[in-house]
Structure 1
């Protein structure tokens, strides 16, 4: 049991899971609006702000599978509390940072805490609510709160940066953690996990997959400044290939508690659904980075006005993801909703690609925001249900970690690839590197958003390959 008191504690579990997920996702986007202020206050170089974002994303993505398996092995209460405590402590250090190195290191520690915390939030729901309408509603709420955290982060970050300081975008997590931690200790069971008969954490799997994902993302980020044939880039990407190959080899060998049982990837709904989430994350997460500099350096907005400029994303995401999507999920097949949402977002990204600062906010940001956010609200909930349907309770944490890994790896790689693509477009258009001046001046935003539109069309095509709900019921996942 995940909670004390069974059913009556269900709402508390949903609230805890959603609050923790909100904090984790909030810190992916909350720094975006503050990046120009952080760059100026701490003396970052032109490419430095990307590491404030990817320092968190790299650690988050690299340790998510480990974090997911921890909940299976050592119990939800223990793991949830540890992740929440680490996340809050790292937020305090980051908020007090006085050098770029300390801030990036604190962001990486935040990412580690988030990697432990995020899978536990989903596992709380999948182990508390059996498959059916109750779980669907709980997952819809969890997904919508996560989406709202990503979009609201820009508004919250803008307001805090404008009226207080950029430091409060991190310090705000400290009181939130102080409230959530005692609630978790009171309402979650001691739950010793499933460590029986000497079962141990798959350390070799954790080391190889974490190293592989971090080297892969680091290697891609080096392409922009060094090129594909540079020794650092080649070594990083080559090391990533070797580490990930070693991870697959390790997971095929008998292990007491494999980090990611490879049987999880056999059902089409899981591997195709996670690929959907990876590709969607490669567009929806980097979007905030590009739009922030578009509004501040292109439209001349301050922090608060930029945050308010993201308000339509928040409103539409909540309206569609929390109200419309759960209703549709009871009547429309998940793959149809995922495909439709991807196409709607693709239309928004295509519109955004044509925006120019001279056109102003209404046609250049607001209209595409409605389309992008509506599409995201439609596809994320059904995708979360698809990749967790039929997973055995003993693998719930691993499945949760895999899903979150897909999202965050997609976001980190997407930012690196799109930044490289957009920078190359700017060079081609101007004949200069764009290293001087505003960061916005070094990016061809239209090229980046057009690439996002193409990727979302691919997501729609991939959604068509997912099995229908009826097929899933007749061919449920059978644990070995």
Structure 2
């Protein structure tokens, strides 16, 4: 009995601290997800208050998403080299400072630049906090609970951002959505400083401990050129020299990035990672899923405010059924996969999302929230939540423990980048349809025509992804040295 008491007492004393550490790290992830969605409801007010054009309004969302997605892998690599706790603290400080600048911005350039710097800070926060959680909670039930909390706060952060954005904008004006993020970030920074052990998260730094500067710079420029070109198409047309030049530069830079990664001993995306398990296939599915993810949050609030005439608070509250359905779908995903097999579960989730988006393509200019938004948003939320969890697991399947952090960073990168590209393409399409319809229809009907087209095209993407998933999801061999009990179970075809 003495031996038992000697063994268990320290664990009991450590439990509260472990809970506090997890809470601090999860709060960092919550903050990143909050900033992703908090601006969506306030976009009309931001556009008029900061003097933004339609294209500039898109960049309020895209600047954050693009910087976040393009630099996630670089943030993870820096965390390995410089120390995860140190990079997390620096990322939170940068994130808070950029949020303050965005709240004080009086011109479009300052606002969009601040949003890009916010994304830079988020790209340090997300991989560093996740790597710390994986390190401080070793394999077993403890890690499972930690990752469960991680998934829950991601969904809760998105929902809280939508509601908080509407409430704060209606009460105090759009600058306060950024001021509120500053306050929250300061609290998270204090919690991380106090509760996360100073010696944690030092990392190995990789084979030579060098940062892939050329690879990072090349892929960031490539993605910027691609999304800027797609955004500019809306006003200039496909034959415009700027558009052709940007898209051509993106193609050249992506090719250069591929060459750099093959030759670099410290590649940002090592070729061996793409050959492991089903990483390449999983990330292909994720970039397709992500391509309609941000656009959904962009178009629905605009329809509710610009066509239905809802206020910011009502619009924010109207997004809560979607957020709740998304969290429910995420929670049900593992059960569905075990019960019906991965291929059936993933494809069904994607088709459910597609059905909801197709329903949204029937929006009416004289419709209502209950008739036009509520039902389809619940369907989309269920499908999107379930598909996201299962595709993430698929992209991690067959990856050895030494590459788990990098693989997690990659799947988050493809989701963010897919979202930025999808938003640029769909806003260009919707804007073109609205501009043509405006010649012979009232403004509300012209806007609705653009939104309907965007949702119809969006519906085709998860439908095609469901077919692709049926072809790609197969059992992946476990990496060498993986114990049989630890082998992933996602690809059971049932």
Same fold, TM exceeding 0.5?
yes
2:233 paired residue among 223, 242, 245: 223
Correspondence for 1:67: 75
Structure 2 Cα separation of the partners of residues 334 and 17 of structure 1: 30
Does residue 283 of structure 1 match 2:292? yes
Q: CA deviation at 1:103?
A: 0.8
Correspondence for 2:305: 296
* Structure 1 segment 319-398 matched on structure 2, within 5 A: 319-322=328-331, 324-329=332-337, 331-398=339-406
- TM-score normalised by structure 1 residue count: 0.90
Structure 1 Cα separation of the partners of residues 279 and 161 of structure 2: 29
| Contact 1:151–1:310 under 8 Å retained in 2 | yes
Q: 1:232 to 1:462 in 2, by over 3 A?
A: same
CA deviations over 1:62-108 (Å, ceiling 9, x no partner): 21221122222222111111111111111111111122111111101
Does residue 194 of structure 1 match 2:199? no
* Structure 1 segment 433-452 matched on structure 2, within 5 A: 441=447, 444-452=450-458
SS at match of 1:305: helix
Q: CA deviation at 1:134?
A: 5.0
Structure 1 unmatched ranges of 5 or more: none
Correspondence for 2:465: 459
Structure 1 Cα separation of the partners of residues 144 and 473 of structure 2: 18
SS at match of 1:359: coil
Correspondence for 2:65: 57
Q: CA deviation at 1:123?
A: 2.4
2:218 paired residue among 208, 230, 233: 208
Q: Quote the RMSD (CA, aligned, Å).
A: 2.7
Structure 2 Cα separation of the partners of residues 390 and 131 of structure 1: 16
Correspondence for 1:171: 179
Higher relative contact order (CA 8 A, sep 6+): 1
Does residue 147 of structure 1 match 2:155? yes
| Contact 1:158–1:306 under 8 Å retained in 2 | yes
Structure 2 Cα separation of the partners of residues 406 and 309 of structure 1: 28
Structure number with greater Rg is: 2
Does residue 415 of structure 1 match 2:423? yes
Report which stretch shifted further, 147-156 or 76-85: 147-156
Structure 1 Cα separation of the partners of residues 86 and 221 of structure 2: 25
Structure 2 Cα separation of the partners of residues 77 and 405 of structure 1: 21
Does residue 162 of structure 1 match 2:170? yes
SS at match of 1:464: helix
Q: 1:334 to 1:125 in 2, by over 3 A?
A: farther
Count of aligned residue pairs for this structure pair? 469
Report which stretch shifted further, 397-406 or 273-282: 397-406
Structure 2 Cα separation of the partners of residues 442 and 457 of structure 1: 23
Structure 1 Cα separation of the partners of residues 17 and 267 of structure 2: 31
Q: CA deviation at 1:386?
A: 2.2
Structure 1 Cα separation of the partners of residues 250 and 83 of structure 2: 31
Structure 2 Cα separation of the partners of residues 211 and 65 of structure 1: 15
Q: CA deviation at 1:7?
A: 7.3
1:250 paired residue among 242, 260, 279: 260
Q: CA deviation at 1:196?
A: 7.0
- TM-score normalised by structure 2 residue count: 0.87
Correspondence for 2:244: 234
Correspondence for 1:309: 318
Structure 1 Cα separation of the partners of residues 87 and 40 of structure 2: 29
Structure 2 Cα separation of the partners of residues 327 and 15 of structure 1: 26
Q: 1:374 to 1:127 in 2, by over 3 A?
A: same
SS at match of 2:40: helix
